[in-house]
Amino acid sequence: MRKILVTGGTGLVGKALQDVIAEEKCADEEWYFAGSKDCDLTDESATRSLFDRVKPNCVIHLAAMVGGLFHNMNNNLDFLRVNIQINDNVLQAAHAHGCEKVVSCLSTCIFPDKTKYPIDETMVHNGPPHSSNYGYSYAKRLIDIQNRGYYDKYGCMFTSVIPCNIFGPNDNYKPTVSHVIPGMIYRMHKLMQENPEIAEEEKTFTVYGSGKPLRQFIYSIDLAKLMIWVLRNYESVEPIILSVDEEQEVTIYDVAKAIAAAFNFKGKLECDTSKADGQYKKTASNKKLRSFLPDFKFTDFNEAIKTSVDWYIQHYDEARK
């Protein structure tokens, strides 16, 4: 029986893994999903105790200080320090416990700001990241360096995946920290609920920035399936990008339109260009993933947005907001 510890097991991706695993019912694996209530991973001895308790053979390491553009811009030092602490504690505890594999999570937003497109796995360290999120980016890049160090010194199979932007049920909708999709879901829902005396057709939803930046978005359930595949089948320290295809890139304005359609919002959409856009694009190539899984079918974007919006409406009271 293989025991798998998932750090960050209560977050957006952690909950998606829980759902996929519950459906799969794999008999020779036991999964343990840890949240920050189980253990504060910035604390080295608490991290060791968690590993003593769970005794994992493998780890999917998701736990991180995570946030959208505006949260990152205002808190780069915290993103750097907290994430370095968490990653160092988890990787060292996994090594001390003789874990056979660790799959950690990087992000396509840690790539160099000035780069050629599409981005691929060889480019992680090729230049400074975008200034808006340098703290998060350098902490995440160090995971790749640590993985190589553990492999060189001890032969550990510690690897990493690089997802594009993720969304789905159980996202974090808190306005001060949210990513673009949960942020828009929260604001559109609020706009539709408040001031019922104003006809919906008269209401205007504001898209932050020009609406023009391009992004690739992966549905959390698709990502969870791919991460489980990586855990079971991918035997390399080199990171692997887990992203939708390049043709599936959408503008931020497209995202607003998809969310409006999912809510059946009848008002107007307007861009506020005084707000930051962040990186214009960060198109990533999933060629490596496709070389292993050429037939993997990603969930249709509009369908996944609809499921996510419906989840938010149905779970409004318990959603993180």
Catalytic residues: 136
Q: Which of 37, 114, 116, 297 binds ligand NDP (CB under 6 A)?
A: 37
Asked whether the beta carbons of 97 and 51 are under 8 A apart, the reply is: yes
Q: For ligand NDP, give the closer residue by CB, 192 or 259.
A: 259
Q: For ligand NDP, give the closer residue by CB, 72 or 192.
A: 72
Structure tokens at 236: 């390399």
Examine residue 294 and say whether the peptide bond preceding it is cis (omega within 30 degrees of 0): no
Asked whether the beta carbons of 101 and 231 are under 8 A apart, the reply is: yes
- Provide the angle, in degrees to the nearest 10, between the axes of the packed helices 301-314 and 252-263: 50
Q: For ligand NDP, give the closer residue by CB, 182 or 192.
A: 182
* 3-state SS record for 126-152: CCCECHHHHHHHHHHHHHHHHHHHHHH
The answer to the question of residue 175 lying near ligand NDP (CB under 6 A) is no
Contacts of 116 (CB under 8 A, 6+ apart): none
Binding marks (x or -) toward ligand NDP, 179..198, rule CB under 6 A? x-------------------
Q: For ligand NDP, give the closer residue by CB, 143 or 192.
A: 143
Rg of the chain on CA atoms, in Å: 20
Asked whether the beta carbons of 101 and 159 are under 8 A apart, the reply is: yes
Piece of the chain touching ligand NDP by CB under 6 A; list 162-170, 190-198, 266-274, 301-309: 162-170
The answer to the question of residue 319 lying near ligand NDP (CB under 6 A) is no
Q: Other C-beta atoms within 10 Å of 112: how many?
A: 17
Which residues between 5 and 24 bind ligand NDP (CB under 6 A)? 8-14
Q: Which of 5, 17, 41, 191 binds ligand NDP (CB under 6 A)?
A: 41
Q: How many residues bind ligand NDP (CB under 6 A)?
A: 27
The answer to the question of residue 86 lying near ligand NDP (CB under 6 A) is yes
CA 155 and chain centroid, separation: 28
What is the nearest approach in angstroms of ligand NDP to the Cβ of residue 294? 23
Q: How far apart are the C-alpha atoms of 164 and 282, rounded to whole Å?
A: 9
At 231 the three-state DSSP class reads helix
Binding marks (x or -) toward ligand NDP, 96..135, rule CB under 6 A? ---------x-x----------------------------
Q: Which of 19, 29, 30, 40 binds ligand NDP (CB under 6 A)?
A: 40
- Which residues are at the interface with ligand NDP (CB under 6 A)? 8-14, 35-37, 39-42, 62-66, 86, 105, 107, 163, 165-166, 172, 179
